[in-house]
A = this chain, B = another copy of it.
């Protein structure tokens, strides 16, 4: 069985810890593990291989996180330039697989707390998939949630799919006992899904096939923008599941949460005796039942209750618990003021490592740059800025104009504007350097790439 992990979510519902270019599945929320990594670990015993469908911008982030688990060699990546919802994404994963292979489709940003129950449900689904069924997983609801679609079931038979209900309807669903949350997890043979898609949505099928065939095979299956744009965006539920006669549902009570808001995140995190989430960098005086997420800074509370406090290096949110669905509205407001703040953190992830903006002022910018072992930045130059590099840890192999040389800890070099240059880490340990940029214009777009290992030129 191959596990297909869908990483398409843009995830600003947990802003400011998640950002457009750093969605929630990659945030290390749980003891230095991300939801994406938890998803991989949850499935790595039951999967023969992984197929990760991911936005091309997040490819190296996903690859890194797989590397940390030492599982990147069992994985294929399908890289999307833009998202077209789940029906096409799953179609292309199915096209990349053996037609008779069973695929287990899982979102990358959900939490499942009961591993044994999960594995049992998957086993059941696998069995049905082996009989050429399209299987969906129905989560046993524990409250009258109005934010999810429901599946009306009779045993493993699906009676109907239901849109997000109003409160009263949700309560009646909960009471009746045969309604389940539509979890977004599926299991079927690649061939069966593609046949059904072709039957109900031939255009989506054909355009997905064309896109898949035209993809560049290098560092994963790289789908092309023009092809992707031509695909109609559609969910697997609308395109196939609600129309096919082959559908079954596996009811599952597996400790599932989609972590769609800080409220649901609070429910899943470990807490102290006063109901405050645990953190070394927090002091609570007379405070109860608070979610506090902080990185480096000390967050102290005095006599507050039921708050969500989320701290990042450039933005902080303080919300009443129960109101965190309004984060969406907040993000829209922030975007009006400073759209960068909804897209990226002050630490940005790049294929070769990371950079963190330490200080930014008219005329200069200071960055801390880390380069992973074996990685190199593009050969590049800038029209408007000079750069000073100081190695504070590791060894840099530097191209500066026509010469290439090693720069060790406590050594520095100066890159004049217009000079072509390159930074590389040939060592086994991480390279850290401080870069001071000086110039009249300091935008990231002032870069001319002459050669790039990551095909960005």
Contact = CB atoms under 8 A, between A and B. Distances in A.
Interface stretch (A44-52, A124-132, A328-336): A328-336
Interface string A339-371: 001000000000000001011010110101000
A303 B320 contact: yes
A390 interface: yes
A317 B282 CA distance: 10
A285 B319 CA distance: 9
B366 A388 contact: no
Contacts of A412: 388, 412, 414
A10 to B, nearest CB: 19
Contact of A392 (B285, B338, B363, B432): B363
A298 B324 contact: no
A436 interface: yes
A323 B298 contact: no
A356 B360 CA distance: 13
B326 A318 contact: no
B297 A319 contact: no
Contacts of A358: 358-359, 366
Contacts of A318: 299-302, 304, 307, 309, 318
A283 B356 CA distance: 25
Nearest to A314: B297
Interface string A292-313: 0000111111111001010101
A438 interface: yes
A455 B230 CA distance: 74
Contacts of A337: 283, 298
Interface in A356-406: 356, 358-359, 361, 363-364, 366, 368, 386, 388, 390, 392-393
Nearest to A411: B414
A366 B393 CA distance: 13
Contacts of A326: 285-286, 302-303
Nearest to A320: B303
23 contacts: A283-B334, A297-B314, A298-B315, A298-B341, A299-B316, A300-B315, A300-B330, A300-B333, A301-B317, A302-B324, A302-B330, A303-B323, A303-B326, A318-B318, A358-B359, A361-B392, A363-B392, A363-B409, A364-B432, A366-B366, A366-B434, A412-B412, A434-B436
